[in-house]
């Protein structure tokens, strides 16, 4: 922040506290006024966000750092797969083996979705399929997991919505396990997805998956070799980045749920409805840097 910005904060705070000297305001009133003035200055100094909605929170302190249409219900594309992974981890063992079938492969190709390049007949562990669903955002891997642990999409989606309710995601309704337009993508909010991101990263398995830049499955007698690269470009480029998920459909635009650990604080953010693929990462990086420059608690 430039020196002028610091002068503005100091002046605003002094102006709010000045009535104390004349007995015209109580300390509580003055503190509230100063706090509100500080928030207004911080908003003016925040990075520009072109996306339809965004939310940034310091989950260590519970302080909301940025909010733009954070409760507006929007499609979230493949951010949906975070809930899919969350549900699978409560239904399955990581070493369970799932056989990929033709419907899993066909589902991804017929919908023009990103894939983990799976083939019918391959047998992979749940652990491997979770990496395939989260890193390259494979709709084939997601479909295989939902098919087995629903069993079937409709039952699996019911479990997703039950989990959303239990987590207090009141603005969220899932329509399928992958966020694709058909049969229904469902909807969520930036605020709800931030809550889900915080919860997901509290699971050591999901934290490990989300923070992995590249994952290799060596060839075996029951499956081909696979190498999956994480689509989250913040990893390795933004200090402390630990996840979480990218997404895109025409209706949802470019989406991103992200998090970083900095100076003992975990900062979690969500960007929904961005029109430019790379700008979501640039915006996320700027928001994280800006949040790190702000005081760690209210005035």
List the catalytic residues. Answer: 78, 81, 137
SS (HEC) of 137-176: CCHHHHHHHHHHHCCCHHHHHHHHHHHHHHCCCCCCEECC
Q: Which of 215, 233, 217 is nearest to 225 (CA)?
A: 217
Angstrom CA distances, 50 to 68, 105, 107, 237, 272, stand at 10, 35, 33, 21, 10
Contact 4, 290 (CB under 8 A): no
Q: Are 195 and 167 in contact (CB under 8 A)?
A: yes
């Amino acid at each position: 922040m430039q020196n002028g910005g610091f002068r503005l904060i100091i002046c605003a705070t002094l102006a709010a506290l000045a009535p104390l000297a004349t007995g015209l305001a109580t300390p509580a009133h003055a503190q509230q006024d100063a706090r509100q003035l500080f928030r207004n200055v911080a908003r003016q100094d925040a990075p520009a966000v072109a996306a339809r909605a965004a939310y940034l929170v310091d989950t260590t302190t519970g302080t909301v750092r940025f909010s733009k249409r954070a409760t507006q219900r929007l499609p979230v594309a493949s951010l949906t797969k975070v809930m899919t992974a969350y549900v699978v981890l409560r239904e399955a063992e990581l070493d369970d083996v799932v056989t990929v079938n033709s419907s899993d492969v066909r589902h991804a190709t017929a919908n023009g979705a990103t894939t983990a390049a799976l083939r019918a007949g391959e047998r992979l562990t749940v652990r491997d399929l979770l990496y395939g669903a989260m890193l390259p955002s494979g709709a084939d891997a997601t479909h295989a997991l939902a098919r087995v642990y629903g069993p079937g999409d409709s039952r699996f989606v019911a479990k997703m919505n039950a989990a959303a309710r239990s987590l207090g995601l009141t603005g969220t309704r899932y329509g399928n396990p992958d966020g694709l337009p058909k049969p229904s993508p469902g909807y969520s909010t930036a605020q709800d997805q931030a809550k889900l991101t915080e919860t997901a990263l509290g699971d050591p398995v999901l934290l490990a998956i989300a923070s992995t830049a590249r994952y290799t499955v060596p060839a075996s007698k029951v499956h081909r070799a696979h190498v999956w690269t994480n689509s989250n470009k913040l990893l390795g480029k933004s200090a402390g980045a630990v996840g979480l998920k990218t997404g895109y459909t025409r209706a949802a635009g470019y989406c991103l749920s992200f998090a970083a650990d900095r100076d003992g604080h975990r900062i979690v953010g969500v960007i929904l409805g961005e029109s430019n693929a790379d700008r979501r990462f640039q915006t996320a990086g700027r928001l994280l840097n800006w949040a790190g420059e702000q005081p760690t608690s209210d005035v």
